[in-house]
Amino acid sequence: MRSASIERHTKETQIRGRLVIEGRGRYEISTGVRFFDHMLELFTKHGGFDLKLKATGDLDVDQHHTVEDVGIVLGQLFSKALGDRRGINRAGYFVLPMDETLAVVALDLGGRPALVYKDLVRVRLVGDLQTELVGVLKAEKAVAILDDINQIERVVMP
C-alpha cells in the first residue's frame, strides 16, 4: 500500500499529515479555515485516497501561511507516497461539473514542473477562505511534488 506521513513545523505553522493513496476517500482534516477543510475533504473523497491532516497556524495574522504550508505538505505526501512512480500513468485529466462550477484538471507527472492556474472567481471570500490563496495552494503543491508535476487547472464560477 502506497502511503506517507509528514510533519512540518515552521515559525508560522505546525502541520501533520498522513496519506494513503489506495484508500476509500476517508478524511480527518482540520486547518482552522472551514471552507478550506471542505475543499480538501471533497478532494480526498473524490480522489479515493485517505487523508489525515491537522494544521495550526498564525490565522490571527491571515490564512496565507496555513494555506501555503498545507500545499507544501500535500505535495510532499503525494511525492513520498508515489515513490519511484512505477505502475502509474504519466498523465491524466479530470472534469467535474458542480452546481455553478466546472473544474477541469490536466496532470502530467513527467518531470518538468509547471503550473497554469486560471479561475473566474470575482469574490474576496468563498465561505471563510480568502480566494486569492487558492492559486498559492496549487503552486506550493506543484512545487512540493519535486519536479514531477505539470498541472493545468481551470475553475469556472459565476
DSSP letters along 5-68, please? EEEEE-SSEEEEEEEESSS-S-EEEE-S-HHHHHHHHHHHHHHT-EEEEEEEE-TTT-SHHHHH
Contacts of 123 (CB under 8 A, 6+ apart): 131
What pLDDT is attached to residue 8?
Answer: 95
Query: What pLDDT, in 10s, does the model give residues 99-150?
Result: 877 878 777 776 666 667 677 777 777 778 877 777 665 555 554 444 334 4
Q: 63-112, pLDDT tens digit by residue?
A: 989 998 998 899 889 889 988 888 888 888 888 887 877 878 777 776 66
- Sketch the domain layout of the chain as residue ranges: 3-156
CA–CA separation, 137 and 126 (whole Å)? 15
Contact 3, 19 (CB under 8 A): yes
pLDDT value at 156 more than 60: no
Res 145: pLDDT: 44
pLDDT confidence of residue 21: 93
Global pTM?
0.79
DSSP states along 90-108: SEEEEEEEETTEEEEEEEE
State pLDDT tens for residues 42-68.
889 988 999 999 999 999 998 989 998
Query: How would CATH label the architecture of 3-156?
Result: 2-Layer Sandwich (3.30)
